[in-house]
Structure 1
Amino acid sequence: MNTLLQYILVQRAKNKLKNEKDPKKLRKRLLVKEIRTGQVELIHAAKEILFIVIGVAAAGFGLKGFLLPNQFIDGGVTGVSLLIQVKSNVSLGILLVIVNLPFLVLGAKTINKTFAFKSILAISALAIVVHFVPYPLVTDDKLLIAVFGGFFLGLGIGMAMRGGSVIDGTEVLAIYLSRKWHMTIGDILLLINILIFSAGAYLLSIETALYAILTYLVAAKTVNYVVDGVEEYIGVTIISPKNEEIRVMLTKKMGRACTIFQGRQGFSKNGGQRQDTEIVYTVMTRLELAKLSTEIDKIDKNAFIVMGVVKDIQGGMIKKKPMK
Structure 2
Amino acid sequence: MKNSKTLKLISEYGQIALGIVLASIGLKAFLLPNGFLDGGVTGIALLVSRLVDINISILLVVFSIPFLILGYYTVSKRIVVKSIASILGLALFIHFENFGTITDDKLLISIFGGLFLGAGIGISIRNGSVLDGSEILGVYLNDKFGFSIGQVILLFNIILFSITAYVISIEVALYSILTYIVTAKVTDLTIEGFEDFIGVTIVSKKYLEIKVTIMKELGAGLTTYKGSKGFGSQGEQEDFDIIHTIINRIDIKKMHRIIDRIDENAFIVEFDVNNVKGGVLRHYLDKKKNKILPKI
TM (norm. structure 1) is 0.59
Structure 2 match to 1:206: 170
Deviations 1:231-259 (A, max 9, x none): xxxxxxxxxxxxxxxxxxxxxxxxxxxxx
Aligned to 1:177: 141
1: CA distance, partners of 2:279 / 2:25: 35
1:117 corresponds to: 81
Structure 2 residue runs of 5 or longer lacking an equivalent are 194-273, 282-296
Corresponding position: 1:47 with 2:41: no
Partner of 1:72: 36
Size of the aligned set, in residue pairs, is 202
In structure 2, C-alpha distance between the alignment counterparts of 1:100 and 1:39, rounded to whole Å: 34
RMSD between superposed Cα atoms in Å:
2.3
Q: Which amino acid aligns with 1:119?
A: S
Show CA shifts across 1:103-146 (max 9, x none). 11111211111111110110001000111111232111111111
Which residue identity is paired with 1:183? Answer: F
SS of the residue aligned with 1:93? Answer: helix
Aligned equivalent of 2:27:
63
AA in 1 matched with 2:21: A
State the percentage of identical aligned residues. 46
In 1, distance between residues paired with 2:73 and 2:128? 15
Q: How far 1:47 moved relative to its partner?
A: 1.3
Match of 2:190 in 1: 226
Deviation, 1:306, is 9.9
Structure number with bigger Rg: 2
- Could you list the structure 1 runs, at least 4 aligned residues long, displaced by more than 6 angstroms after superposition: none
- Consecutive unaligned residues of structure 1, counting only runs of 5 or more, are 1-35, 230-285, 290-302, 308-324
Whole-angstrom CA distance in 2 between matches of 1:199 and 1:113? 33
1:225 to partner: Cα distance: 0.2
User: Map of 1:268-307 to 2, 5 A cutoff?
Assistant: none
User: Does structure 2 retain, via aligned residues, the 8 Å contact 1:65–1:138?
Assistant: yes
Give yes or no for the alignment of 1:145 onto 2:109.
yes
Match in the other structure for 1:242:
none
The one-letter amino acid paired with 2:163 is A
In structure 2, how many angstroms separate the alpha carbons of the residues matched to 1:140 and 1:306? 48
Query: What are the residue-to-residue correspondences of 1:253-272 with 2, within 5 Å?
Result: none
Counterpart CA distance in 2 for 1:306 and 1:213 is 40
Residue of structure 1 equivalent to 2:51: 87
Q: How does 1:15-54 map to 2 (within 5 A)?
A: 36=1, 38-54=2-18
Tell me the amino acid that sits aligned with residue 129 of structure 1: F
1:125-140 paired onto structure 2 within 5 Å: 125-140=89-104
Query: In 2, Cα distance between the equivalents of 1:94 and 1:191?
Result: 25
Verify the 8 A CA contact 1:118 1:165 in the aligned structure 2: yes
Q: 1:199 to 1:306 in 2, by over 3 A?
A: farther
Q: Is the 8 A contact 1:147 1:215 kept in 2?
A: yes
Q: Is residue 108–residue 114 contact of structure 1 (8 Å, CA) maintained in 2?
A: no
1:159 equivalenced with 2:126 (yes/no) = no
Change (3 A) 1:191 1:139: same
In 2, Cα distance between equivalents of 1:183 and 1:171: 13
